[in-house]
Chains A and B, each alone.
Chain A
């Protein structure tokens, strides 16, 4: 059975500073995908970044980077130069298998608050 763990229910960060949101996962599959989503108060799910289990380089998308440590089964999200608009819920998710038609399972989420 797959499992996603986010141990930080809430985080504060000062505007313009970097912040790391933790995510660990558990799977016996060799092929899997890891996702991070942002959910503002509106409820929409905004895709941030993706890492495939066979990707050797850490994924980066603008101010977002994913610190992928396969042996530790961790996939932490790093947000650089935080902005006030980054305040939201952040969810880590995993899909066993690399086919996009496979289901996503989500972690419990981290609420990030950016202080001015």
Chain B
């Protein structure tokens, strides 16, 4: 299956700063990627669908101006958490759909801690 990487794997930042998280599909071209957020002991909540060459589709309640998504190529999507605050501390995971109907490849996740 496809290999998906995320960078960084963890990041600690000060409140008010912006943090960029990268999601790369290493061996598979992806016109679509998904971004999820997972708070401790909770489930994965879909934030947005990243579309290559066009605007991302955000889920209800997700602030598009705070969580900027850019999908500039078929192998890279970035999520930028702007003006991060402690409540943005979470585990962010991306996924890439494969060609088979049962294929959905997840990145290893990025743990963000905002002080």
Contacts and interface: CB of A to CB of B under 8 A. Distances in A.
Contacts of B49: 103
A35 B102 contact: yes
Interface stretch (A11-19, A74-82, A93-101): A93-101
B54 interface: no
A68 interface: no
Contacts, number: 60
B103 interface: yes
A42 B109 CA distance: 9
Interface residues of A, number: 24
Given A43-B111, A45-B93, A98 B101 contact: yes
Given A106-B43, A109-B43, A100 B106 contact: no
Interface of B: 31-32, 34, 36, 38, 42-46, 49, 91, 93, 95, 97-104, 106, 108-109, 111
